[in-house]
Structure 1
């Protein structure tokens, strides 16, 4: 161990007969909840009656926490953290936190150990559970996902879906588990198993696409890979989201924001969106997160569903999730359903869709009645304490949720050893083997949509003179000679993002790509002029399925990516790694078609410009072009 390692913590003790334990309540003896030989259920049965109401309420909140650059505990509030670390741990009694920026593996491990040591100062030493949004790919948007930083970098989830390889998903999730555990992250706020059926929706890059069978298979593999065969000390707990499926957004707008609060099902396809959650439950997911959206016009088994956000919806959480699907794990709400969030000069209203008129205490009561166990993004413990004092919430209801949350902590082994080794963290996180696997997966996930004899780039014309936009010239220089103008080039390589409508009124809105999928006419014209000078290879980063039709008449090759670094892109375009990706979503022909489509149901394959499942294998030299979303495939959504 190194000098910064505090494994075992200040409470480490040994019984007279030599059994190691953590004296978490400081009474000098090993109480049953401190005895690692007992089952999680036995330990919860001992601990729960010992806890004060205040301690139990603290378990039911999970908020954002931030670390200092060298792993320091923050002595004051941060950018997104509402309170100083000591305040939320010691004064408010919280023990579940969602961490944002991670500067390095060593800093994260050091910070975890300091945070766990701080938690030992609480009356019963309840350890902290650290959670995270996805952080192994390319997306950087607070509240959604983070770029990989010190962790190994892989394709975004749509890129993994493009590979249609369940074994690779299982391997990826095992890597995630190893890297998370090394720094003390023990709960993943993923997988996101929503069906990407609305082309404009800004959250689909973190999904597994629109094919319900693929999403179900990937869900099983992902949960088992991160948690293992059962939840235990070697696991990272998964939080499968967004129940009961968040993809059916009206006009593709996201319910983080008031204008996107409605989910609609004109295709009567609710059950397909629900299906992957049954697989997550069968695989043992520890937690499930409902989405913000409110169903509009949804009728199920002849009964209208209340038009309130899903976390507020008793028919959905208790009726469907608990009673029909048999889930008895933790239901953690998505962030900030109770109070508004202010950061700097920006506001994000509480996502209390359908119950906006309720006061915070009334919202908490309705969330608990619906079935929520833990309030995401909140630390308003006094509001819940007052509700209990006024008789609006019973202590027995608090005990139900506290029990579920404690069971997860005990099963993860956090009560026995929540500490990590800094040296091991630095050795494991982002190691060469993991990074190589991630880069290869990126290159393989590339989808070649069109190719008129220009790919791969290692043909007889090499070394090529290449005009480059959107790719680092120093990387392209390994494959040819970058030149300054298309007229001097043998080939132009241009990489562009998918289009979106920039918005920056509400907090977080800037990070969401929403609105029209049409490219600007000026961009199309400029690229057409480049293609008049030399063959154009167009690479499009599809965080949403953009309208590519305007480019097909002049691009010599069109390539789709879902999270690919420049070096992996060049490996794929050159043939060092042969791309094998197939589209995980449909590419529509026009925005008119998008507007006419049903948000809950994928359009017929014949209506797409490129249908889900399409991809030119071996650059089209073997002419294996596949349209998997044919009529028989579409029937799976009935």
Structure 2
């Protein structure tokens, strides 16, 4: 019998059905899993990673028949990155059916470095966080970012984006707010759709979904923002999502838009809905959410992949990390797996327990027809992306030419500049823009002073300065140890010691305060001040911006265009009193959504 699935002239449905007919149950079940992997030294195939509990990669492909992988970390060079993924494809090509691997990634182009949310890849172009794209508010720039990121991903062999994150950041304390487009549903929908067009090549930069696309997995359905007390559901204490304002449907609005835009994949969140019509179990286990709502009511026909680690307890960074089986902790691992499949998911994120599914089939609890339905979706994606044909391997020289090119880095730097948001600009020595040509003696705290030397005379102490620049970050409560420490959650207020230290600087010298807004920081003392402590002379916000980008804005070489993508609350008490599911609900915010001054 001819191998029709290898014939590039045949239609995708024909190729899928031909391949499906040849697959053993073990090969089918392997498709239902997407595990994390990391490169070995020098971009070699890893023999395992004890820090994150990752098994040897070769065994996952050859023994468990897994062909979907989420990349952790990155080799030191673009060439090693591309060669590593080519090596994975070579291992896969030598399996019985030669099914290619599909490589996915969390965001890699901004400044966050949290292995559970986003990763810096230093050879890629660098852009502001998605909050910064929202601050610019320009769909064309967001789509262009998606296009450039798409080209860099494809150059090294990444074909699925585990993003965009289109949750609404309605709970200011939530650790994942930095990956969103803010708290406004309309802005989030516009930016999310532009983002998908860029990655999937379905807008002005592409040719439609196909061999030059990166498949976008939108998350976290049905909206991960309304966390009880702002705690994150990676951890048991953050498992509850609550809707005191009755705003469940508002959080669906960006998902409705992105489904209409054609996003190919969807990831439900860890959290469990409390006090709604839906079953009080995690969204990945929730048939009402995945089948009744997402599939039937909203009409989503693409791939549903759970968030990572819903079945098995593991150890990460030397610490126990229980499965995020919220609401179904009492179920066995096999029962959890069955509930996920019955809920309507196609794929288990961050798991390798193929044995559980094989046991369910052998026992008659799960039919092969049900497995086939999900495998069809997953194989279709591989064929549509060209992975069975000329897109299996990447060209190493081409990867080096494309990734981090001068043009792409310049575009990223321009976006960093544009996203900067001027919140306050008083008259006086620190009035923006500052005079260049070395006219200002500048002391820089918290940044690379050399980046400002082209414009100002850099001094070594605040006492010797005309103006002091303080680069600060949104406060957070220390969590940990280990993996938990990556999540910046809890209070948004500066400690008493840090607040008084900065205010004392403001008394002594004109201060420009730049703050990295990964969440809506409480900056009331610096924005308003008192007669005794006048606060900062100027305040600007960034969402991931280098010192080079900030210097160009502060000294007038580039115009900032940013507008706040969320309210900045007046106090932590106002945050605690607000409804976690309701946007713009904190009392009397210091600066409102959309605020931003021109220079």
Give the TM-score, by structure 1 length.
Answer: 0.90
* Mapped partners of 1:396, 1:604: distance in 2: 48
State the shift of 1:606 in Å. 6.8
* Mapped partners of 1:109, 1:81: distance in 2: 24
In structure 1, the partner of 2:361 is 388
1:605–1:612 contact (8 Å) kept in structure 2:
no
From 300, 316, 338, the equivalent of 1:343 is 316
Distance 1:425 1:45, change over 3 A: same
In structure 2, the partner of 1:84 is 56
Render the CA deviation track for 1:588-624: whole Å, top value 9, x for unaligned: 0011110010111113587211010001112xxxxxx
In structure 2, the partner of 1:190 is 163
Question: Where does 1:484-563 land on structure 2 (aligned, <5 Å)?
Answer: 484-505=460-481, 507-552=482-527, 553=529, 554-563=535-544
2:405 maps to 1:431: yes
Secondary structure of 2:499's counterpart equals helix
Distance 1:460 1:72, change over 3 A: closer
2:436–2:555 contact (8 Å) kept in structure 1:
no
* Mapped partners of 1:119, 1:404: distance in 2: 19
From 61, 64, 67, the equivalent of 1:95 is 67
In structure 1, the partner of 2:440 is 464
In structure 1, the partner of 2:7 is 35
2:52–2:317 contact (8 Å) kept in structure 1:
no
2:382 maps to 1:409: yes
Secondary structure of 2:281's counterpart equals coil
More displaced stretch, 341-350 vs 173-182: 341-350
Secondary structure of 1:241's counterpart equals strand
* Mapped partners of 2:193, 2:461: distance in 1: 49
From 403, 417, 423, the equivalent of 1:449 is 423
State the shift of 1:486 in Å. 1.9
In structure 1, the partner of 2:577 is 596
2:259 maps to 1:297: no
In structure 1, the partner of 2:81 is 108
In structure 2, the partner of 1:8 is none
In structure 2, the partner of 1:251 is 229
From 266, 271, 282, the equivalent of 2:249 is 271
* Mapped partners of 1:363, 1:604: distance in 2: 37
CA RMSD of the aligned region, Å?
Answer: 1.4
1:605–1:611 contact (8 Å) kept in structure 2:
no
More displaced stretch, 43-52 vs 274-283: 274-283
Distance 1:148 1:571, change over 3 A: farther
State the shift of 1:461 in Å. 9.1
Question: Where does 1:134-283 land on structure 2 (aligned, <5 Å)?
Answer: 134-229=107-202, 230-283=208-261
State the shift of 1:409 in Å. 0.6
State the shift of 1:425 in Å. 0.3
In structure 2, the partner of 1:626 is none
In structure 1, the partner of 2:568 is 587
Secondary structure of 1:70's counterpart equals helix
* Mapped partners of 2:514, 2:312: distance in 1: 42
Render the CA deviation track for 1:297-330: whole Å, top value 9, x for unaligned: 01xxxxx210000010000000011101111111
* Mapped partners of 2:588, 2:292: distance in 1: 37
2:329 maps to 1:356: yes
1:63–1:377 contact (8 Å) kept in structure 2:
yes
Distance 1:63 1:81, change over 3 A: farther
Render the CA deviation track for 1:498-541: whole Å, top value 9, x for unaligned: 11001114x52111000011101111111122122210101111
Give the TM-score, by structure 2 length.
Answer: 0.95
State the shift of 1:485 in Å. 2.3
1:449–1:614 contact (8 Å) kept in structure 2:
yes
* Mapped partners of 2:493, 2:470: distance in 1: 18
* Mapped partners of 1:570, 1:165: distance in 2: 23
* Mapped partners of 1:360, 1:567: distance in 2: 50
Aligned length: 584
* Mapped partners of 2:224, 2:350: distance in 1: 19
2:183–2:584 contact (8 Å) kept in structure 1:
no
Q: Structure 2: where are the runs of 5+ without partners?
A: 203-207, 530-534
* Mapped partners of 1:429, 1:458: distance in 2: 35
* Mapped partners of 2:62, 2:435: distance in 1: 65
State the shift of 1:464 in Å. 1.0
Secondary structure of 1:405's counterpart equals helix
State the shift of 1:82 in Å. 2.1
More displaced stretch, 132-141 vs 521-530: 521-530
In structure 2, the partner of 1:482 is 458
In structure 2, the partner of 1:421 is 395
State the shift of 1:220 in Å. 1.3
Render the CA deviation track for 1:347-366: whole Å, top value 9, x for unaligned: 21100000001110000000
1:331–1:372 contact (8 Å) kept in structure 2:
yes
State the shift of 1:457 in Å. 4.4
More displaced stretch, 65-74 vs 410-419: 65-74
* Mapped partners of 2:443, 2:454: distance in 1: 14
Q: Structure 1: where are the runs of 5+ without partners?
A: 1-28, 299-303, 619-638
State the shift of 1:77 in Å. 4.1
State the shift of 1:344 in Å. 4.1
State the shift of 1:394 in Å. 1.2
* Mapped partners of 1:204, 1:217: distance in 2: 17
In structure 2, the partner of 1:319 is 292
* Mapped partners of 1:420, 1:323: distance in 2: 38
Secondary structure of 2:590's counterpart equals strand
* Mapped partners of 2:143, 2:178: distance in 1: 19
In structure 2, the partner of 1:65 is 37
1:455–1:573 contact (8 Å) kept in structure 2:
no
